[in-house]
Amino acid sequence: MHLSREEEEAYQGEKGESLRRAMEILVALGDIYGADRLIPVRSVQVAGVSFKTIGEAGLEWISDLQGKVLVPSVLNPAGMDLSRWREMKIDENFAKKQIEIVDAYKSLGISPDCTCTPYQIRPDSARKGDHLAWSESSAVSFANSVIGAKTNREGGPSALAAALVGKTPRYGYHLDENRVPTIKISVEADLEPSDFGLLGYITGREVGEGVPRFCLRRRPKVDELKALGAAMAASGSVALYYFDEDAPPLQKGAEEKSVTAEDLRAVREENAPDDEVDIVAVGCPHTSPKELEEIARLLDGKSVEREFWICTARGIAERCPKLVEKIEGSGAKVFCDTCMVVSPASDQYKKMMVNSGKALAYVPGLCKIKAAYGSTEECVRAATGRD
Amino acid sequence: MEVHCHRISSGRACGPALVSREPISFLGTVDPDTGKVVDPKHQLFGKKVGGKVLIFPGGKGSTVGSYVIYQLKKRGFAPAAMINVKSEPIVAVGAIISGIPLVDGVSAEILDLEDGTLVTVDADGERVMIDD
Q: Does A271-384 match A5-175 at the fold level?
A: yes
CB contact under 8 A, A24 and B96: yes
| Rounded average pLDDT over B97-112 | 95
Predicted pLDDT of residue A35:
97
What is the number of CB-based contacts under 8 A between chain A and chain B?
Answer: 60
Predicted pLDDT of residue A253:
92
- Chain A residue with Cα closest to B88: A32
Say if CB A89 and CB A348 are below 8 A apart: yes
**B66 chain-A contacts, CB cut-off 8 A:** 155-157
Count CA within 13 A, CB hemisphere, residue A370. Answer: 12
Predicted pLDDT of residue A238:
93
Predicted pLDDT of residue A386:
60
Predicted pLDDT of residue A221:
97
State the best of B6, B7, B10, B63 to mutate against chain A, taking most chain A CBs within 10 Å.
B63
Interface of A with B in 103-122 (CB under 8 A): none
CB contact under 8 A, B74 and A57: yes
CB contact under 8 A, B96 and A61: no
Predicted pLDDT of residue A64:
86
Nearest CA distance, A186 vs chain B (angstrom): 33
CATH fold, domain A5-175, is Aconitase; domain 3 (3.30.499)
Distance CA A272, CA A292 (A): 23
DSSP string, B59-127: B-S-TTHHHHHHHHHHTT-S-SEEEESS--HHHHHHHHHHT--EEE---GGGGGSPTT-EEEEETTTTE
- Chain A residue with Cα closest to B9: A24
Q: Is domain A271-384 classified as CATH 3.30.499.10?
A: yes
- Residue of B9, B20, B25, B62 with catalytic role: B62
Predicted pLDDT of residue A287:
98
pLDDT-wise least confident of A32-36, A90-94, B43-47, B61-65? B61-65
Predicted pLDDT of residue B27:
79
Say if CB B81 and CB B5 are below 8 A apart: no
Predicted pLDDT of residue A225:
98
On whether ipTM exceeds 0.90, the answer is no
Distance CA A173, CA A178 (A): 6
In degrees and rounded to multiples of 5, residue A54 shows phi and psi of -95, -20
**A58 chain-B contacts, CB cut-off 8 A:** 67, 70
Annotation says B62 is catalytic: yes
Predicted pLDDT of residue A387:
53
Q: Where are the domains of chain A?
A: 5-175, 180-269, 271-384
For chain A (387 residues), the mean pLDDT of every run of 10, in chain order, is: 96 93 94 94 95 86 91 97 97 97 98 98 97 96 98 93 98 97 97 98 93 96 98 93 94 95 98 97 98 98 97 98 98 97 95 97 91 98 84
CB contact under 8 A, B93 and A60: no
CA geometry: angle B48, B53, B59, nearest 5 deg:
80
CB contact under 8 A, A158 and B89: yes
Distance CA A361, CA A341 (A): 10
CB contact under 8 A, B67 and A54: yes
Predicted pLDDT of residue A258:
97
| Rounded average pLDDT over B83-90 | 92
Distance CA A229, CA A211 (A): 11
Predicted pLDDT of residue A163:
98
Interface of A with B in 147-186 (CB under 8 A): 155-158
Domains defined for chain B, CATH in brackets: 2-130 (3.50.30.10)
